[in-house]
Structure 1
Amino acid sequence: MDKISDLPKMILHDILSRLPYKDAARTSVLSKAWHETWSSFPILVFHGFDRGVFLHSGDSKDPLKIQDYRRKVNSFLNSVDRTLVRFHHHGFAIKEFSLSMMFFHPQFMPHRVDRWMKIVGESSSIKVLKLELKVVEHRFGFKFDYTVDNYYGLPSDVVKAKSLSELKLSGKIRVDKLFANHRIRFPLLRILSLIDVYLGHEQAMEDLISGCPMIEDLKLENCVGLENVKVHDLPKLKSAKLSGFHEIDVDVLSLEFLQITNDDTEFPCDINIDKCRNLKVLLLKAVSSVFVSNQWLLELFDKFPFLERLELCCCITSESLMISSSRLKVLSFQACFELKEAKIDAPNLESCRYFGTHRHMPAAISFVNCSNQVEFDAVFAIEFRLDLEWIRAFFQHIEPRNVTLSLKIMKDSSIVLNEDVLQNVQVPLLRIKQLNLWADEETQDLCVLLINGLFWSFRPAIVSLNLKFCSRIFVKLSIGQINNSYYWRG
């Protein structure tokens, strides 16, 4: 006998909240009691893509598929309408509201979204609001004018939601008028994320931050109209992700995690983060204004004595680096192509990751005073040509035992395999923890060369082949069913 259904609605809602949303929705067919529970479940998620509302670009000229797509769009909009009207009519609480539409139409949909925001904003229990509005032109057969006037203006009803603890806005949304005409105050807000939205000017951002003193997690990415950002007076802030700014000034002593991304190399990003003394994690992506040298590293570890994780992606570096830190636990180099040599002196290092491509010789990496239990991951994206000798040379000075090698072979790539080297291969072979292989295009010749070369070079404990064809060849090679002059046999 089902006794769970007899539990109070509050407990049943709590049970549903711990399930993946799709699984929670399926409980509505279990019984009448569960259907009623689901009908008043205070977490509302409306994601168009997850509900099959999408149109591939190749179908944009097919009248039947366009007609079906528009039918799905209308069905989705009506579903949101019915649900929110029902919640409003019965006085059901709304704790979370998440709306994602990749098919937002700036002419015909704003009034509906306004109506939804009014109902959500008037709910005294609303804690989480996520709104993503994006435009894909081919889906409606019109050319979108990307001027700010066609952005969706966030209504004042949102300001009424003083109980918000999480606010995420993404896409063609403008908040400048709202912030200019209302004093923004979300005293309980802990998470704020603004991606691709229109803010208008720096003062709007500063006014918003001043009204949200409890923010712990801040994400600002490519905010239109905002070139410079200042993050001050947030005593609870732990994590910040900032992208697309010309100037960044962060003065928050409590900050522990900071990610800075600068996609526009024509406008180097001026960064001032010196006062974030308690920083533990620093991720720099394509920050052209930073030149990573030995002096920069010395100053970095001096400024941030608690730094445990450092990740550099597409950064300009000296050819030779000495990384010395007694606290560093995680280190990553990704597409730092100027780097030719790196010596790592970090006794507490737990993991190190290196990402490179075939176009640049990989750096010679060596470890000093590091545990041989360090997890070392090497990832190479191979386009056009893979020289297995240079892969072997890369690992000559790698001392850790827990090594993972991942190769992503692009379409039309070739494998260079010197059979003379195979005849004179040195034993014992280098033992590695795991070998991961991906290929965009598979042929028997490519797979045979790849597997032969790698297994004459390394002895992996685990092999992961993300390739159906190559997996079969691997089995055949291992039992000697494929004739080859120097085939590997396990």
Structure 2
Amino acid sequence: MGFGENVAKMQKGTIDRISELPEFILHTILSMLDTKEAGRASVLSKKWYDAWSSIPVLDFNPQYFQKYGNRRHNYDDDTVERFVGFIDKTMERYFTRKYRITKFYLMLPKVDEKIETLVDKWIMIAVQNQIQSLEILIRGCRNNYRLPEILFCAKSLKYLKCGGIILPFYGTMELNSLEYLALIPNTLDADMLQKIISSCPLVELDIAYDEVFSPVWIPWMKKVNGEVKSRGTRTMQSNLQESPLQKFVYSSISVELPWPWDMNLVALKNLRKLEFNCVPLTDDIVSELSNGLVVLESLIIVSCSLLKCINISSNSLKQLRITDSLEIEKATIDAPKLLEFLCSCEVVTSLSVIRALDHCNARFWTLKVYSLTTVWLVKLKKFLVETNFFNSLVIDFNSSPVMVEEDLLRNVGGAPYKLRELKLRGTSTETATKSSFLMFLNGLFWCCHPDVLSITTNLQDSAAKLILSILQEKAECWKDPLKSLEVESIEYPRLLSHSSELEIRLRLSW
């Protein structure tokens, strides 16, 4: 039963108290619904219709106009025509009645000259109606649509995301409030990029490579760095040094896509946050960036599989995250101001932390464990002891085979590694048994002794009952019996959501 039907049911024989709510609250409720559900709610009463017709959040997605049975993103001319007509009628109403527009999301399956003219008009209306957030994505388009000049005069605009379009340079730039710019560009004018990062002191730049929207990447980057000298373009390096840009995010769909070699990020002297996701970073680039960006405070590297032997040295770095970079064999970290360090790599990686703050929150998140074996536990313990830096360990556990030979572990010397917290996160534990989970815990307790054991699992998973039953029996580790085990807290952070979670925190004394 949808939202509209639920409200209608509540109205029968009762006072319609929901409709008596102020309009801005009704706007908030409708903004949380998709277009289809919001439209259903609009028929409940005149006040609901008025609220729906003036809602400041506009979400135009052609899938709501798709004919039943059609393949997703395969839109015929009739669907596109009805979709565009609906948008135009809606925007005309907002223009005539001067309704405020705070958020405008537009997905177009294609554009032609007629649609381009209409999009220009819609953006003009949005700007005049104090637009704050604009996301415009055009699929199946190759260098066809250019954002109109009026958009760059939108002083209220804070969020801008573009895909499958051209971001041209008009010479006009009044985006003083812009805080976030996400580009999935096919073509980007170098002068426009330079103008944005030089004129928008609050902006966070997020460049994503998506093959659906941007099949050509290298020519843009070469132009950005001024390599096309025959056209008289100045080099970007000297200009970038004057840029107030503080946050830069670069992500792609595959490390096989080219790295923008000619983009000189070291020249961004004010950069404080740098994030890479699934891009072909090399060891030399990481070293150059960490050394050259003198005020960099946050460096996040995710799924960069070309990295082998990295050396990060920074006197300003406070946050460092290196996750899902499977091929790293050696890493050296020298960051005397480091407050947070999250690492996810193979347990055979050689990791050396030369300098960091004593109270640094250092977490090691193990990669997915397909089977818990004696050999893996020995490697994990060796990694923790040799690194001697991590105070938290995060492990995703599931119903994979547990093959721990307790007799072999007894013969392996060395005290368990001391941890502040061991976090176990359940993924798929429907088939777990009490004996296998006990063996799982016993193996981990041989490896490390945590002060706190945190277990998170889905309430719908049988593991929740299994864990609670084991705790009620006060099960002890076979090698180092626990002196005491106390339940510190049991939380249900998402009890009302579809995927409710159970989190149990236990205080352990050895």
If the length of structure 2 is used for normalisation, what is the TM-score? 0.67
Task: Check if 1:381 corresponds to 2:367.
Answer: yes
CA displacement at 1:191 relative to structure 2 = 1.9
Residue correspondence of structure 1 range 76-95 to structure 2 within 5 A:
86=50
Indicate if the aligned counterparts of 1:375 and 1:400 stay in contact, CA closer than 8 A.
no
Q: State the partner residue of 2:57.
A: 97
Q: State the partner residue of 1:419.
A: 406
Indicate if the aligned counterparts of 2:161 and 2:181 stay in contact, CA closer than 8 A.
yes
CA displacement at 1:363 relative to structure 2 = 2.0
Task: Check if 1:128 corresponds to 2:102.
Answer: yes
CA displacement at 1:385 relative to structure 2 = 2.4
CA displacement at 1:434 relative to structure 2 = 3.5
Distance (Å, rounded) in 2 between the aligned partners of 1:80 and 1:184? 36
What letter matches 2:415 in structure 1?
V
Distance (Å, rounded) in 2 between the aligned partners of 1:42 and 1:176? 40
Q: State the partner residue of 1:276.
A: 268
Specify every segment of 5 or more residues in structure 1 that has no aligned partner in the other structure, as ranges: 1-24, 54-71, 135-145
Distance (Å, rounded) in 1 between the aligned partners of 2:49 and 2:469? 62
CA displacement at 1:36 relative to structure 2 = 5.2
Task: Check if 1:168 corresponds to 2:159.
Answer: no
What letter matches 1:417 in structure 2?
V
Distance (Å, rounded) in 1 between the aligned partners of 2:30 and 2:420? 45
Distance (Å, rounded) in 2 between the aligned partners of 1:177 and 1:220? 19
Distance (Å, rounded) in 2 between the aligned partners of 1:188 and 1:323? 39
Q: Structure 1 residues 382, 346: closer, same or farther in 2, change over 3 A?
A: same
Indicate if the aligned counterparts of 1:159 and 1:184 stay in contact, CA closer than 8 A.
yes
CA displacement at 1:32 relative to structure 2 = 8.8
Q: Structure 1 residues 315, 128: closer, same or farther in 2, change over 3 A?
A: same
Give CA deviations for 1:460-484 in whole Å, capped at 9, x if unaligned: 2322222354455445555667799
Q: Structure 1 residues 421, 347: closer, same or farther in 2, change over 3 A?
A: farther
CA displacement at 1:430 relative to structure 2 = 1.9
CA displacement at 1:327 relative to structure 2 = 0.9
SS at match of 2:89: helix
Q: Structure 1 residues 210, 220: closer, same or farther in 2, change over 3 A?
A: farther
Indicate if the aligned counterparts of 2:290 and 2:314 stay in contact, CA closer than 8 A.
yes
What letter matches 2:358 in structure 1?
N
Residue correspondence of structure 1 range 257-406 to structure 2 within 5 A:
257-270=247-260, 271-288=263-280, 290-293=281-284, 296-316=285-305, 319-356=308-345, 360-386=346-372, 387-400=376-389, 403-406=391-394
Indicate if the aligned counterparts of 1:261 and 1:285 stay in contact, CA closer than 8 A.
yes
Indicate if the aligned counterparts of 1:162 and 1:185 stay in contact, CA closer than 8 A.
no
CA displacement at 1:300 relative to structure 2 = 1.7
Residue among 403, 422, 446 paired with 1:456? 446
Give CA deviations for 1:148-183 in whole Å, capped at 9, x if unaligned: 569986351331333535232255578987747765
**Count of residues in correspondence between the two structures:** 415
Distance (Å, rounded) in 2 between the aligned partners of 1:280 and 1:471? 42
Distance (Å, rounded) in 2 between the aligned partners of 1:216 and 1:434? 41
Larger CA deviation: 367-376 vs 309-318 = 309-318
Q: Structure 1 residues 274, 369: closer, same or farther in 2, change over 3 A?
A: closer
SS at match of 2:421: strand
Indicate if the aligned counterparts of 2:385 and 2:417 stay in contact, CA closer than 8 A.
no
Q: State the partner residue of 2:69.
A: none
Indicate if the aligned counterparts of 1:381 and 1:409 stay in contact, CA closer than 8 A.
no
Larger CA deviation: 318-327 vs 425-434 = 425-434
- Pairwise CA RMSD of aligned residues? 4.3
Residue among 138, 151, 159 paired with 2:124? 159
SS at match of 2:103: strand
If the length of structure 1 is used for normalisation, what is the TM-score? 0.70
Q: Structure 1 residues 124, 376: closer, same or farther in 2, change over 3 A?
A: same
Q: Structure 1 residues 434, 212: closer, same or farther in 2, change over 3 A?
A: farther
Indicate if the aligned counterparts of 2:287 and 2:311 stay in contact, CA closer than 8 A.
no
Q: Structure 1 residues 481, 260: closer, same or farther in 2, change over 3 A?
A: closer
Distance (Å, rounded) in 1 between the aligned partners of 2:383 and 2:452? 20
**Identity percentage of aligned residues:** 13
Give CA deviations for 1:207-233 in whole Å, capped at 9, x if unaligned: 47844432532332434x447866111
What letter matches 2:283 in structure 1?
V
Indicate if the aligned counterparts of 1:163 and 1:186 stay in contact, CA closer than 8 A.
no
Residue among 108, 112, 116 paired with 2:90? 116
Give CA deviations for 1:229-260 in whole Å, capped at 9, x if unaligned: 66111322431111016244484611111100
Indicate if the aligned counterparts of 1:332 and 1:353 stay in contact, CA closer than 8 A.
yes
Give CA deviations for 1:283-306 in whole Å, capped at 9, x if unaligned: 011221x3123xx34432443210
Indicate if the aligned counterparts of 1:45 and 1:99 stay in contact, CA closer than 8 A.
no
Task: Check if 1:242 corresponds to 2:231.
Answer: no
CA displacement at 1:487 relative to structure 2 = 9.0
Distance (Å, rounded) in 2 between the aligned partners of 1:378 and 1:256? 28
What letter matches 1:278 in structure 2?
N
CA displacement at 1:367 relative to structure 2 = 1.9
Q: State the partner residue of 1:231.
A: 193
CA displacement at 1:352 relative to structure 2 = 0.5
Distance (Å, rounded) in 1 between the aligned partners of 2:208 and 2:255? 12
SS at match of 1:381: coil
Q: Structure 1 residues 298, 460: closer, same or farther in 2, change over 3 A?
A: same
Distance (Å, rounded) in 1 between the aligned partners of 2:143 and 2:50? 32
Q: State the partner residue of 1:63.
A: none
Indicate if the aligned counterparts of 1:377 and 1:404 stay in contact, CA closer than 8 A.
yes
